[in-house]
Structure 1
Amino acid sequence: MVQIPRTPASVPSPAPRAVPTSADVARLAGVSRATVSYVLNNASAVRISEPTRRRVREAAEELGYVPHAAARSLRAGHSRMVVMPAPTFPVGPLYHRFLGELQGALGRLDYTVVQYGTVGLPGDEAARVWAELRPVAVLVPGPGLGPQGVQVLKRSGARAVVTLGTEPVEGAHALLMDHEAVGDCAGRHLYDRGRRRIGVVVPREPGLGLFSAPRVRGVRRAVHDSDATVTELPLGYDERDAERLAARWDTLGLDAVFAYNDEYAMLLCRALQDAGVAVPGGTAVVGADDLMLGRLLRPRLSTVHIELPSARDLAELVDRAVRDPGAAPERHKVLGATLVHRESS
């Protein structure tokens, strides 16, 4: 048996280190507690000299002092937390970059963005879970949240609810994403290049129908009342699935494909080339998102460059809504689409 040595009773355990307070910072910096609060909370309404600000910050760093978020929320009457529920659909590099920029923009306005997962819960039920955090604002990507969920969030203290989707929600600010414009842009380009038998990739992955369905409609709109045909091509993000689609390509009789986005386009391009289908000679290929990897592909990938909403503009919308929660909901159409023509089409 292994004996665990006991600590002698005569040796006392070290006392827990006292948590530094704003009073400690004030004493070390030689200022009032109010000045410490103004400096560390980035209050702009009070003029404090830069040497004093520097002295307070140095004292806080030396003591390891961090302001208490809950106490600050009690004083202000609301938190500075912005909850952004994790999306229930697969996201790519474009979204991740946008999220990073948004966190930076909100941080500069003294907000903290918290990503919160509620997988498996419908929007209005998930809203109750988000409300438990008592956020000052909630940014909801995708569909699901309804008017009832918006009211739950507002009753819990959320001053701003902003949705990013294809349809507005009663009571919430909305950034309306026009994915039909992405498909329309790709379809017009392919038609103008002389392509008449156009395939459109429809991802099999759950949740992506929110984006793929309007993109298909956009391609159909682009070639409406013309001699072109549009064929939907279900495709999973999987090499074997792409190989199976490429193996029957000759039977489909297509001379072009809008592959939903750059990732699916690169997957399909490789499978087509391995199957002996020339790109763009036999089939022109267009993606979307304008990822760097598409420029490294051979042939270089034509793509739809998507202009996401400005992170700074969205952060300022949140800030306006927090400062004036009674204002009428704002609704903005976003998501610009521009074709970038390269070698694959």
Structure 2
Amino acid sequence: MTDPAGPPATPTPPTSAAVARRAGVSRATVSYVLNGRAAGRVAAHTQARVRAAAEELGYVPHAAARSLRAGRGSIVLMAAPADAVPAFGPLFSHFLAGFQSALHHLGYTGVLHGAPAASPVAAARAWAELRPAAVLALHGPPLDAPAVELLRRAGTAAVLTHGPQAPPGAHALFLDHREAGVLAGEHLLARGRRRIGVVLPAEPGLAAFAGSRLAGVRAAAAGCPGAEVRPLDLALTEESAARLAAAWPALGLDAVFAYNDEYAMLLMRALQDAGRTVGGDPEQIAVVGADDLLPARLLRPRLTSVRTEIAAPDRIAGLVDGLVRDPAAAPAVHRLGTFRLMARDSS
């Protein structure tokens, strides 16, 4: 049976006016105290009374209202489609945790926004509703000039987009995945490998990165007579890896750059199950991964990997803070990190 009285009403959150009444002070005094601006304005015992009243009532400041009063918020919005976030892997998760902690120490709140959008302008409009101080477009199609202008007009002080270039009014954060492919390709070619496969993951959200890494291997092979580079489709499943391993004799490849360590470990296991051997000897298949994850180093043979050396999270947070404080700073390209090859037994 349904309750004729209907569902219980959502409790009305306490307001700053209620805190002011409980503490016996003005709303302005409450604002000064709870927004950290009481020094030199409000006596210490009055500050204590206001905080005690807020604690008793369970009062929490309304971030959106505070943002509207200030003209911009304290949110740093990191935009990435929801289906792409898991694909970034543990390296991104580790960076994100450190970045959000660094932002907190600087007085910001990091928010990961995964809502899909039909266009850059539609995405910018959704982000602007939160009145962010800064937007970092980490993935997907780069922002265009109208999207950046919409954000800036809505009060966003700093807009950063990924890639080697950014539209007018925005800064660029750049991690050159082509560099990872060049390192892997040069390493394999130096080991005498001439028929190199490059894994292109089937999982969504990785095509742009995989394409850049493939281009890097091809660039490395371009100066090596007789070198062949072949794309290989692979899903992150045992079944997909088993099919690729079964087809290996017909492919005639002697090496593979497997996009990252997860795909490399999956393919290594499938190749070994199919009776193929992995390693640095000429009759073995050389395998290179990327990200330099701990399990890759525990594997036997130990996996050669291209390590991604991301800039320290507090440095990127400091960059964002500086751009928020100086919205007129000239747009620039900021390197997000670089790559280094860790040679081991698998190649």
TM-score scaled by structure 2? 0.84
Q: Which amino acid aligns with 1:188?
A: E
Task: Spell out the pairing of 1:251-290 with structure 2 (5 A cutoff).
Answer: 251-280=250-279, 281=281, 282-290=284-292
Q: Which amino acid aligns with 1:288?
A: A
Post-superposition offset of 1:306: 0.1
1:137 alignment counterpart: 134
1:322 alignment counterpart: 324
- Percent identity, aligned pairs only? 54
The number of residues matched between the two structures is: 338
Secondary structure of 1:151's partner?
Answer: helix
Once structures 1 and 2 are overlaid, which stretch shifts more, 323-332 or 81-90?
81-90
1:76 alignment counterpart: 70
* Residue of 197, 217, 222 corresponding to 1:199: 197
Residues 95-151 of structure 1: per-residue CA shift (max 9 Å, x gap): 122222221111111111222223252223221222222222211012332111111
Q: Distance in 1 between matches of 2:265 and 2:40?
A: 55
Kept in 1: contact 2:197–2:230 (CA 8 A): yes
2:16 alignment counterpart: 21
Structure 1, unmatched stretches of 5+, are 7-12
2:218 alignment counterpart: 220
Q: Distance in 1 between matches of 2:307 and 2:168?
A: 31
Post-superposition offset of 1:257: 0.8
Post-superposition offset of 1:57: 5.4
* Residue of 284, 291, 294 corresponding to 1:292: 294
Once structures 1 and 2 are overlaid, which stretch shifts more, 257-266 or 17-26?
17-26
Kept in 2: contact 1:141–1:165 (CA 8 A): no
Aligned pair in 2 of structure 1 residues 54, 248: CA closer, same or farther (>3 Å)?
Answer: farther
Q: Which amino acid aligns with 2:270?
A: A
Q: Distance in 1 between matches of 2:230 and 2:2?
A: 74
Aligned pair in 2 of structure 1 residues 17, 47: CA closer, same or farther (>3 Å)?
Answer: closer
Q: Distance in 2 between matches of 1:117 and 1:326?
A: 28
Post-superposition offset of 1:50: 9.6
* Residue of 105, 108, 130 corresponding to 2:105: 108
Q: Distance in 2 between matches of 1:27 and 1:3?
A: 38
Task: State the Cα RMSD in Å.
Answer: 3.3
Once structures 1 and 2 are overlaid, which stretch shifts more, 258-267 or 295-304?
295-304
Q: Which amino acid aligns with 2:234?
A: L
Residues 128-179 of structure 1: per-residue CA shift (max 9 Å, x gap): 2222222222110123321111111111221111112343222211112211
Task: Spell out the pairing of 1:299-314 with structure 2 (5 A cutoff).
Answer: 299-314=301-316
Task: Spell out the pairing of 1:119-130 with structure 2 (5 A cutoff).
Answer: 119=116, 121-130=118-127
Aligned pair in 2 of structure 1 residues 52, 317: CA closer, same or farther (>3 Å)?
Answer: farther
Kept in 2: contact 1:160–1:318 (CA 8 A): yes
Structure 2, unmatched stretches of 5+, are none
2:147 alignment counterpart: 149
Post-superposition offset of 1:35: 6.7
Q: Which amino acid aligns with 2:153?
A: R
Q: Distance in 2 between matches of 1:275 and 1:159?
A: 56
Residues 45-86 of structure 1: per-residue CA shift (max 9 Å, x gap): 869999998886566444423223234224422211222223
Aligned pair in 2 of structure 1 residues 166, 330: CA closer, same or farther (>3 Å)?
Answer: closer
Aligned pair in 2 of structure 1 residues 71, 278: CA closer, same or farther (>3 Å)?
Answer: same
1:187 alignment counterpart: 185
TM-score scaled by structure 1? 0.85
